[in-house]
Amino acid sequence: MNTPIAVTIAGSDSSGGAGIQADLKTFAALGVYGASVITALTAQNTQGVTAIHDVPADFIAAQIDAVFSDLDVGAVKLGMLSQVAAIEAVAAGLVRHRAKNIVLDPVMVATSGDRLLANDAIDALRRELIPRALIVTPNLPEAAALTGANLARNEREMEIQAREILTLGARNVLIKGGHGEGEEAVDLLIGQSEVVRLSAKRIATKNTHGTGCTLSSAIAAGLAKGRDLVSAVQEAKAYVTAAIAAAGTLQVGHGHGPLHHFFNQWAHDPEKWEPVFGKDYAQNKRSPS
C-alpha cells in the first residue's frame, strides 16, 4: 500500500502553533507523511507576529520542484502566501506538476490580529489560486475580504458569500463560522449544488492559535488518504474540535495558545497508547517502573 503523502506550501511559525509547523503536526497525527514548501519565515509567538521574511519566488519554485519530482503527493495545502510573486510561483508550480486535491486556506490575518497578506496579493489570490483549488476554506473575515462584503452575520449570508467565491473558479468552499457567535460553531461546505452543514459546540477558550491551518491541513490529510471531500471535511472538523477541547491541557505561551494536535497520542491513559504503539508498549506503560 502506498504511503499517503501531503505537502504544505505555507509560512513558518517560529512558535510552532500555526503555519508549516501546525500542518506537519496535523499530517503526522492523522497518519500522513508530510512534506513542506516554506513561503515565508515569521518571527512569531502566541502574542503576535513581530517580523516577516519572504522567501524569494525562485526558491519557492525550487522547493516545489524538489518535492513533486520525487514524492507522490496526494494532496496539497496552501497557506500563507503574502506576496504576488510567491502566489505566481506557487500557481505555476502546481500547473507544472499537475497537482491534485488542492486545499486553499486564504490566510490573511493571524489569530493575534497581525496582517499576513499584502493588499495587492488578494487579487492575485483570486486570479491565480482560487480557480485551481478543490476547496477554499475562508473564515468569516477572509470571506468578507475575498467578496468585498461585510462580515456575514448568519448562515444565509455565509452561503451567499461562499457562492460568490465559487464564481471565482473554486469547486467547493468551506466557509467557517468560528468567528461568529452563539453556542454552535457552524461551517458550511458548499459545492455547485449541495450544502453540507457542519456544527460543533462552541468551546470557550483563548487557545485557538493555528485553528485555520490545522483544519485545512486535516482536510488535505483526509484527501491524501483517499477520502471523498465530504468525509475529509467531516473528519477534519471532528479532529480540530477535539484538538481545541484539549488545548487547555497544554501550557504554551502567554497569549493565544496552540491547539493540542497530539491530544490522542499524548493521552495519559495507557489504553490510548495501544492503537499508536501496540499492546507491548501499552503494557509497559501500565507496568510500574
pLDDT for position 180:
58
The predicted model scores a pTM of: 0.88
pLDDT for position 116:
63
- Kindly give the pairing relationship between strand 5-13 and strand 135-136: unpaired
pLDDT for position 258:
85
Domains of the chain: residue spans and CATH:
5-286 (3.40.1190.20)
Task: Give the model confidence (pLDDT) of 89-115 as tens digits.
Answer: 999 999 999 999 999 999 876 555 556
- By annotation, the residues acting in catalysis are 176, 208, 210-213
Residue 253 and residue 46 in contact, taking contact as beta carbons nearer than 8 Å: yes
DSSP string for 224-235 = HTT--HHHHHHH
Residues of the chain where predicted confidence (pLDDT) is lower than 70: 109-116, 178-182, 268-289
Report the amino acid identity of residue 91. A
Residue 161 and residue 147 in contact, taking contact as beta carbons nearer than 8 Å: yes
